């Protein structure tokens, strides 16, 4: 009887992608997969990806719960609370009962849930005598800073609402780089996120397997420290193996919330090697009209080719308003799409650098493809990721905003020129090449993530049905 994993993602693009990659990897190790979403997310994914081969191998089901995909930050607190309730333990219990009643031969043998979906889930797993693994889709350091934050309060470093007592760059944990107070991942959403992060840590502490979409080599001191408290298993990068072969001929595009525009790949084929600036703000980054204008003018002023993902909701409240005459000016060297096949783009030889909002998937994809970054974070873990990219791994440069919070066109031009033309840029590009190899080695036979994944898979296969 094949092992059968029930996967429960947080229904946001940046969380569903790595969960799908994990699903795909488990399938290649002989697992049956049931992938659970809320009704609305499930329908949206199917609508945008009618013919994707992902669905041939993975059973997508939905819980009877209307939860629009989390691709906006509006009312985030209420939405997370309603999600945790709407797809909470009693719903999961029912889903397992239904699957098991229907499939005598293929009962669920384990549960893998996003860390945000684990609240109260251990009781359900125990009831059904199933192992539960938590899946953290970002850096171990993100989990660690949340996990130890109550301790930071007790040391008097943070106020009880998570705000640092001193507004200066601080080494909050000895195993982590010094961070600006604004880099702390809860500050964008205030006390709610701070408290939720602490609760999450308490909940996860008792779960034996905590899988991370990261790899030990990039944050070894944190992995070592946290492993004394929690079952830490970094298994990333979870990027499908065919993307890790430079001379590959075909790839699969993972399903996403939006229709992917693959025509840009032919456009990239026509560009010179290492010449194109790729710009994307993930699924949630938002620009003001003024900021969008500065970015457009900055791209125009670089005089270089660029591929820019301008989502229909990139600008708050209206369609993205590009400056008058911009499209005319950049017609011969600019390509604009509403959603790109990002993995294919980043692995294309014409890409020179990535202007990124520093969502963890984007950063890890960029590392794995050896692409240097210009960092433009917005919220959540993105500032922490930037600290690692810029200060620790030396894979990129920050783009700095002026006193009005705007990243001016000159800053964009300067960043691109340093990366492409200067001695510092050369060093960054060399580091990017080195880390690309380390990332790929982590998932090769005998690599650190390969070992962790195999430990996990072996343990799950040993479970009695």
> Of 11-19, 52-60, 75-83, 120-128, which segment contacts ligand UDX by CB under 6 A?
11-19
Report CA dihedral (255, 256, 257, 258) to the nearest 10 degrees: -100
Closest distance between ligand UDX and the C-beta of residue 139, in Å? 8
* Among positions 37, 38, 271, 283, the unique one binding ligand UDX when judged by CB under 6 A: 283
Closest distance between ligand UDX and the C-beta of residue 13, in Å? 4
Q: What share of the chain is helix, strand, coil (3-state, %, to 5)?
A: 45, 15, 40
> Of 6-14, 25-33, 77-85, 299-307, which segment contacts ligand UDX by CB under 6 A?
6-14
Closest distance between ligand UDX and the C-beta of residue 69, in Å? 10
List the structure tokens of 247.
Answer: 């001379």
> Which residues, 6 or more positions from 424, have their beta carbon under 8 angstroms from its beta carbon?
418
Q: Are strands 334-337 and 373-375 parallel, antiparallel or unpaired?
A: unpaired
> Of 13-21, 190-198, 288-296, 444-452, which segment contacts ligand UDX by CB under 6 A?
13-21
Cis peptide leading into residue 330 (ω within 30°): no
* Among positions 41, 49, 122, 280, the unique one binding ligand UDX when judged by CB under 6 A: 280
- For residues 344 and 264, the answer to whether their CB atoms sit within 8 Å is no
For ligand UDX, which is the closer residue by CB, 265 or 459? Answer: 265
For ligand UDX, which is the closer residue by CB, 138 or 193? Answer: 138
For ligand UDX, which is the closer residue by CB, 70 or 204? Answer: 70
For ligand UDX, which is the closer residue by CB, 271 or 284? Answer: 284
For ligand UDX, which is the closer residue by CB, 122 or 214? Answer: 214
For ligand UDX, which is the closer residue by CB, 125 or 142? Answer: 142
Whole-number Å distance between alpha carbons of 361 and 13: 10
List the structure tokens of 190.
Answer: 């205030």
Whole-number Å distance between alpha carbons of 239 and 213: 10
- For residues 292 and 261, the answer to whether their CB atoms sit within 8 Å is no
> Which residues, 6 or more positions from 76, have their beta carbon under 8 angstroms from its beta carbon?
70, 189
For ligand UDX, which is the closer residue by CB, 305 or 425? Answer: 305
Q: Strand, coil or helix: what is 313?
A: coil
For ligand UDX, which is the closer residue by CB, 114 or 411? Answer: 114
For ligand UDX, which is the closer residue by CB, 343 or 457? Answer: 343
Closest distance between ligand UDX and the C-beta of residue 114, in Å? 11
Whole-number Å distance between alpha carbons of 226 and 221: 9
Q: Should residue 452 be labelled a site residue for ligand UDX when binding is judged by CB under 6 A?
A: no
Beta-strand ranges (E) seen in 167-289 are: 209-212, 232-234, 276-280
Convert residues 137-166 into a mask of x (bound to ligand UDX by CB under 6 A) and - (unbound).
-x----------------------------
Torsions phi, psi of 152, nearest 5? Answer: -65, -30
Convert residues 233-272 into a mask of x (bound to ligand UDX by CB under 6 A) and - (unbound).
-----------------------x----------------
Q: Computed over its alpha carbons, how large is the radius of gyration of the chain?
A: 22
> Of 9-17, 204-212, 299-307, 417-425, which segment contacts ligand UDX by CB under 6 A?
9-17
* Among positions 264, 279, 380, 442, the unique one binding ligand UDX when judged by CB under 6 A: 380
Torsions phi, psi of 432, nearest 5? Answer: -60, -40
Q: H or E element: which one contains 9? A: none
Closest distance between ligand UDX and the C-beta of residue 386, in Å? 10
Torsions phi, psi of 33, nearest 5? Answer: -125, 130
> Which positions from 305 through 324 interact with ligand UDX, judged by CB under 6 A?
309
Torsions phi, psi of 359, nearest 5? Answer: -60, 145
For ligand UDX, which is the closer residue by CB, 15 or 440? Answer: 15
Report CA dihedral (451, 453, 456, 462) to the nearest 10 degrees: -90
For ligand UDX, which is the closer residue by CB, 343 or 389? Answer: 343
List the structure tokens of 102.
Answer: 């229907």
* Among positions 17, 38, 448, 452, the unique one binding ligand UDX when judged by CB under 6 A: 17
Alpha-carbon separation of residue 328 from 172, 176, 270, 306, 331 (angstroms): 49, 47, 19, 14, 5
Whole-number Å distance between alpha carbons of 329 and 409: 16
> Which positions from 336 through 365 interact with ligand UDX, judged by CB under 6 A?
339-340, 342-343, 359-362, 365
Interface residues with ligand UDX (CB under 6 A) are: 12-15, 17, 138, 256, 280, 282-284, 309, 339-340, 342-343, 359-362, 365, 380-382
């Amino acid at each position: 009887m094949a092992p059968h994993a029930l996967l429960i993602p947080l229904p946001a693009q940046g969380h569903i992608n790595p969960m799908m990659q994990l699903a795909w990897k488990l399938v290649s190790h002989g697992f049956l997969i049931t992938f659970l979403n809320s009704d609305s997310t499930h329908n949206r994914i199917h609508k945008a990806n009618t013919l994707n081969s992902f669905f041939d191998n993975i059973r997508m089901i939905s819980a009877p719960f209307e939860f629009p995909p989390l691709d906006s930050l509006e009312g985030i607190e209420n939405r997370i609370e309603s999600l945790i309730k709407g797809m909470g333990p009693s719903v999961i219990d029912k889903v397992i009962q239904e699957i098991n009643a229907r499939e005598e031969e293929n009962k669920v043998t384990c549960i893998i849930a996003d860390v945000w979906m684990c609240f109260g889930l251990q009781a359900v797993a125990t009831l059904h005598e199933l192992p539960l693994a938590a899946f953290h889709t970002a850096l171990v350091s993100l989990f660690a800073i949340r996990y130890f934050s109550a301790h930071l309060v007790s040391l008097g470093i943070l106020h009880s609402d998570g705000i640092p007592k001193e507004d200066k760059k601080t080494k909050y944990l000895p195993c982590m780089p010094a961070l600006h107070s604004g880099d702390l991942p809860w500050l964008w959403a205030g006390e709610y996120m701070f408290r939720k992060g602490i609760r999450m840590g308490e909940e996860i502490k008792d779960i034996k397997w905590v899988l991370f979409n990261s790899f030990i080599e990039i944050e070894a001191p944190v992995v070592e420290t946290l492993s004394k408290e929690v079952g830490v298993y970094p298994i990333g990068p979870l990027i499908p193996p065919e993307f890790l072969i430079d001379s590959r001929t075909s790839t699969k595009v993972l399903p996403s919330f939006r229709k992917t525009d693959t025509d840009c790949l032919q456009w990239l084929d026509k560009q010179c090697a290492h010449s194109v600036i790729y710009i994307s703000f993930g699924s949630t980054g938002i620009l003001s009209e003024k900021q969008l204008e500065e970015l457009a003018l900055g791209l125009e002023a670089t005089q270089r080719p660029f591929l820019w993902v301008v989502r229909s909701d990139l600008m708050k409240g209206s369609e993205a308003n590009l400056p008058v005459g911009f499209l005319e000016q950049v017609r011969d060297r600019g390509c604009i799409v509403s959603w790109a096949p990002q993995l294919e783009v980043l692995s294309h030889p014409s890409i020179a650098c990535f202007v990124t909002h520093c969502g963890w998937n984007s950063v890890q994809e960029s590392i794995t493809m050896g692409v240097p970054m210009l960092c433009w974070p917005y919220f959540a873990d993105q500032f922490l990721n930037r600290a690692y990219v810029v200060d620790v791994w030396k894979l990129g440069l920050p783009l700095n905003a002026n006193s009005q919070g705007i990243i001016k066109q000159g800053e964009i031009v300067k960043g691109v020129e340093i990366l492409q033309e200067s001695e510092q840029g050369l060093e960054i590009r060399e580091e990017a090449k080195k880390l690309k190899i380390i990332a790929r080695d982590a998932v090769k036979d005998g690599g650190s993530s390969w070992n962790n994944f195999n430990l996990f898979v072996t343990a799950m296969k040993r479970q009695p049905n």
